[in-house]
Amino acid sequence: MKKNIFFAAIMAASFSLNSCGNLGTGLGSTSGNSDATSSVADAGSAILNSLLGSILSTTLTEKSIVGTWSYRQPEVRFESENVLAKAGGEVTAANIEKKLDGYLTKVGITKGVTSFTFKEDKTFTIMSGNKTISSGTYKFDTSAKTLTMQGNIGLMNQTCTVGMDGTNLCLLYDADKLLNLMNTAGSILGNANATIGSITSILGQNYKGMKIGFQLAK
């Protein structure tokens, strides 16, 4: 099915490019065609990279997540090709990430400032600067690729899907779960009055089968 999306993207882009090409004489078009082919391939790769499965293929163990990870940017993934097509693909994902980044900044979750630390003794701490958002214990399910954090301080229980995008760790939540997390984090960080809106306003529409959350880097 992933190949089908990839080839569909190529065919659609190729049709568009060929239509435009017919308006000219075709002289000296070899370089242009090469660049166009490269652009289409890049587009197909970007579309496939929006799928949740693309970050779940990497083998993860509990040791894989141990360490301190710094918040890098929002992350949006679609569970299936059908959801991806309905949402409009990579452009929609990029737009959602841009909007979400602004809301996360308002509640105090900021690039280079917010961090997630997972220790070998199965304890975790989420910090933003010198403020603790949450701390407690965690459990990593290697088969389901889910991370459950049971908070003793700040944010209480939360469960997310875990994957790797290259060397970056991705923590992905259902939309309503992330909204609760954002609201609580805003209260803890003193930004309870920040206008974070609702998840539906961030997404534009309520798409089931979409995971949103954080991309973290060491």
Which among 17, 196, 38 has a CA at the least distance from the CA of 109? 196
Residue 11: pLDDT above 60?
no
Distance CA 197, CA 99 (A): 11
Q: Are residues 43 and 123 in the same domain?
A: no
26 and 89 share a domain? no
Mean pLDDT of 69-98: 83
Do 151 and 179 fall within a single domain?
yes
Q: End of a domain among 31, 48, 65?
A: 48
> 1 pLDDT exceeds 60?
no
Is residue 78 located within the same domain as residue 38?
no
**Does pLDDT of 120 surpass 90?**
yes
Instruction: Report pLDDT for 103.
Output: 87
Does residue 23 sit in the same domain as residue 63? no
- Of 6-15, 79-88, 163-172, least confident by mean pLDDT is 6-15
Q: Assess whether pLDDT exceeds 60 at residue 214.
A: yes
> Are residues 63 and 44 both part of a single domain?
no
Residues 18 and 65 in one domain: no
Domain with 44 in it: 2-48
% of the chain with per-residue pLDDT over 90: 39
Place of tokens 């990839």: 6
- Between 36-40, 65-69, 88-92, 101-105, the lowest mean confidence (pLDDT) is in 36-40
User: What is the domain count for the chain?
Assistant: 2
Mean pLDDT of the chain: 77
pLDDT digits (tens, 9 = 90+) for 106-118: 889 999 999 999 9
The tens digit of pLDDT for each residue in 144-168 reads 999 999 999 888 889 999 999 999 9
CATH number of the domain bearing residue 179: 2.40.128
In this prediction, residue 180 has a pLDDT band, given cuts at 50, 70 and 90, of: confident
Residue 38 sits in the same domain as residue 114: no
The structure's pTM equals 0.74
Same domain, yes or no: 159 and 193: yes
128 and 30 fall within a common domain? no
